[in-house]
Amino acid sequence: MIMSARRIFTTTERFFHFLLQTEMGIIQSPSLLFTNYFHSSASTHNPKDAKSQRFLRSKFNSSSFRDVDDALAFFNHIILLRPLPSIVQFCRFLSALVGMKQYHTVISLSRTIESLGISHNIYSLSILINCFCRLHLVNFGFSIQGKIIKFGLEPNTVTFTNLIKGLCIDGKINGAVDFFNDMVAGGYQPDVHTYTVIINALCKCGKTNVAIELLKGMVERGCEPNVVTYSAIVDALCKDKLVIEALDLFSQMRNKCISPNVVTYTCLIQGLCNLGKWNQASALLKEMAGQNISPNIITFNILIDNLCKEGLVSKA
């Protein structure tokens, strides 16, 4: 069973058609079967040799691969070894592929891992949910949640957060809020990442006031927001031309010893520039420099664009 990245699936259309034919979304298709092709450093090692086995296991456990082909080549070798890696080690491997945005590949390999007699755990199934949600297949993600319950496993915050993220990705914000409320009512405590996902989605769809109320509720429940949480609301307030409110939130953030980042500053600078408040925008730019925070390309584009609009081309 050898898998090559070129054979993971033939076309996106065929892949999604096959997903729709598999109720639980766990793939096993002839087009996804392993081939005898691989081209990484792993192919130079005989898995029967003890030294090679140590190398393969060490490399696999580190999950540090050059690219997807390199990862698949190691996977092809590692599944020939006995004993097989544990589900924890496979989870680490699948997470590395998620980091490469290889969501289709993760779904396919999960079925292969299962066929090897390795039982899924809550972490591997949460990874699967994340992949389906990233592919705009949140319904399949909820099918996996059903599988979690069927297996007698306990969903965790990561499981629920991935589903909330999937609903938000699909623009189902009301559904995400309802699911979030059900999660809390069920006794599960959302973490800062859960709150940030839903707050960011609320801000992007123009429900900034709801996001602010959720921020307050978050603090009341003892979950401290982070810079990403605050920056999402600061950005939304600035886009609504509520820059004074954004600056107030910015001050609250710093009073809590949460350091702003380039995104926070850039949002405020854009909001101030849009209102023609150049002095305040310049002060924030100097403050950034004093904090050793370098402006990014977006920051520079905002400054150049607004300077040009004001007829200050030479200064731009």
Domain residue spans of the chain: 1-119
pLDDT tens-place string over residues 139-188: 999 999 998 988 899 899 999 999 999 999 999 999 999 999 999 998 89
pLDDT digits (tens, 9 = 90+) for 244-301: 999 999 999 999 999 999 999 999 999 998 888 888 888 888 888 888 888 888 887 8
pLDDT digits (tens, 9 = 90+) for 195-205: 999 999 999 99
Could you give the percent of the chain with pLDDT greater than 90? 52
**3-state per-residue secondary structure call for the chain:** CCCCHHHCCCCHHHHHHHHHHCCCCCCCCHHHCCCCCCCCHHHHCCCCCHHHHHHHHHHHHHCCCCCHHHHHHHHHHHCCCCCCCCHHHHHHHHHHHHHCCCHHHHHHHHHHHHHCCCCCCHHHHHHHHHHHHHCCCHHHHHHHHHHHHHCCCCCCHHHHHHHHHHHHHCCCHHHHHHHHHHHHHCCCCCCHHHHHHHHHHHHHCCCHHHHHHHHHHHHHCCCCCCHHHHHHHHHHHHHCCCHHHHHHHHHHHHHCCCCCCHHHHHHHHHHHHHCCCHHHHHHHHHHHHHCCCCCCHHHHHHHHHHHHHCCCCCCC
Summarize pLDDT for 111-129 with one digit per residue, the tens. 999 999 999 999 999 999 9
